[in-house]
Structure 1
Amino acid sequence: MIDVKHKAIPERVARRLLGACEIEDALQRRIAIDSAKQRGDVKPSFNERGWRIGQMHPRALYTDREVELVLELRDEGWGYKRIAKKMEMPRRTVRDICSARIRCQRQGGA
């Protein structure tokens, strides 16, 4: 299964929808996150309801560090398009991260 726009879809279907490079990038991100979880490098993050948030969420496509970099670049005055190109993610995802539409929860509701 591959996460595409926050939906888990079979790899054979994803290959029809996306290019090979996009699929490979999604798989590599998922492998990196999963291996970090198994090694224990990543501490679980939970909101005030006890739900997993950030890169520990099963449908997370980007690491917490990637999200931090997007926010740092935006604070430096970079535009959405330039950040998207640099981070190799959709422009709308960059916009949603910067406007707190996604990945906006903090640990323990802080």
Structure 2
Amino acid sequence: MNKLWVFFAVLLTVNLANAADMEFTVVAIESEGAKFWIPGSLIVKKGSKVKINRVNAIKSEPNTHGYAIDEFGIKQVIARGEPKAVTFTADKTGLFAIYCHQHPKHIGGQLLVIDK
């Protein structure tokens, strides 16, 4: 079972979309006590309008987890069973941390914004 999770985590870790408007769905899961968003890394092009749908599927407590990308002003709490979406324009290039602002020791990731 662990190998299957690792396979899917690696397979889904990086998404690269080519369109001007990009939409992703990320899901918070728990495996062997570790909590993380899948996919954890997103790659978009500068100038793209980005929509990230977040679903908290973690069954253990606490039932809320944060999703923050400071450089784009994103900081939301996602409760289990209450999906949320955020839309923003990727107006700067670089590698930006995605993290849980409620529980900083887990649920990390990154947003890579590349030139067109």
The interval holding the TM-score normalised by the smaller chain is under 0.3
Larger Rg: 1
More strand by share: 2
TM-score, L = length of structure 1: 0.27
TM-score, length basis structure 2:
0.26
Q: Which has the higher helix share?
A: 1
